[in-house]
Amino acid sequence: MVDLFIDRVLVKNNKDQEELDTEREVEMRLQNRILMLFFASASSESCQEFAPTLHDFYKKLTDEFYVERAAQLVLLYISLDESEEQLEDFLKELPKKSLFLAYEDPYRRELEAMFNVEKLPTVVVLRPDCSILIPNAVEEIVSLGPECYQNWQEAAELIDRNFLMNEDFEQKSMRSFTDPIRRLKYKVEDEKKKMKKEKREKRNGRGGGRGGDRDVEADGGGGSPW
């Protein structure tokens, strides 16, 4: 996956539009993940109609409100917009966790030709090795929603297969994942307090009872050890 974007700058769709401009940053973001290349244009009515569906699809797979663990999925917007202003406007319709190529990056058009994009919108789904999993997943996303990710995951043979849909997540307790750690911590602290208490009781018992008897025996049974 990384080979496809070596020497390229990927931009985060957040307020600061932070750039992933080193090979290491790009590798960390894309490695062992399914990549969705979203080819679209703000001037296309069908793209405008599909954008909310894609936003919801991606959010339900990567937002921890819906899933216990985010899916190994990356959404990269390949703008075919006619102006930078159109690109910026369309980015507002996409998830904040998505990435995009800058308008001035000519690689956008190279990717369009590379994947034979003939209509908009198009979502090319790639395996981690850059091979094509689905040439255009738009219809599948519309008809199946987040459930289709399980099929992608199995077909891509990802290493990590943790996946939890919204309905399963709602049945689970809303405890924080740190709860077991906290419970263990408190258990250890309780054990320590218990041991300290037992030691105090033993010391007190030694001073008033048995300890005195031993001292008496050591003195040959004489008077008070004090």
Per-residue pLDDT of the chain (226 residues), as tens digits, is 678 998 899 999 999 999 998 999 999 999 999 999 999 999 999 999 999 999 999 999 998 888 888 889 999 999 999 999 999 999 999 999 999 999 999 999 999 999 999 999 999 999 999 999 999 999 999 999 999 999 999 998 876 544 444 444 444 434 434 444 444 444 445 565 566 667 666 666 654 444 444 443 444 444 444 4
Q: Strand pairing of 10-12 and 122-126?
A: unpaired
Instruction: Please measure the distance between the N-terminal and C-terminal CA atoms of the chain and give it in whole angstroms.
Output: 83
Structural domain containing residue 68:
2-171
Give residue 56's region: left, alpha or beta (phi > 0; psi -120 to 50).
alpha
Tell whether 8 and 79 lie within a shared domain.
yes
d(Cα 124, Cα 111) in Å, to the nearest integer? 10
Closest CA to 44 of 13, 9, 89: 89
Q: Does residue 98 lie within any of the structural domains? A: yes
Give the CA count within 13 Å in the CB-facing half-sphere of 223.
1
Answer yes or no: pTM beyond 0.85: no
Tell whether 56 and 90 lie within a shared domain.
yes
Residue ending a domain, among 150, 171, 192, is: 171
Tell whether 129 and 185 lie within a shared domain.
no
Q: Does residue 105 lie within any of the structural domains? A: yes
E-strand ranges in the chain read 10-12, 19-20, 34-40, 73-79, 99-100, 122-126, 132-134
Q: Does residue 79 lie within any of the structural domains? A: yes
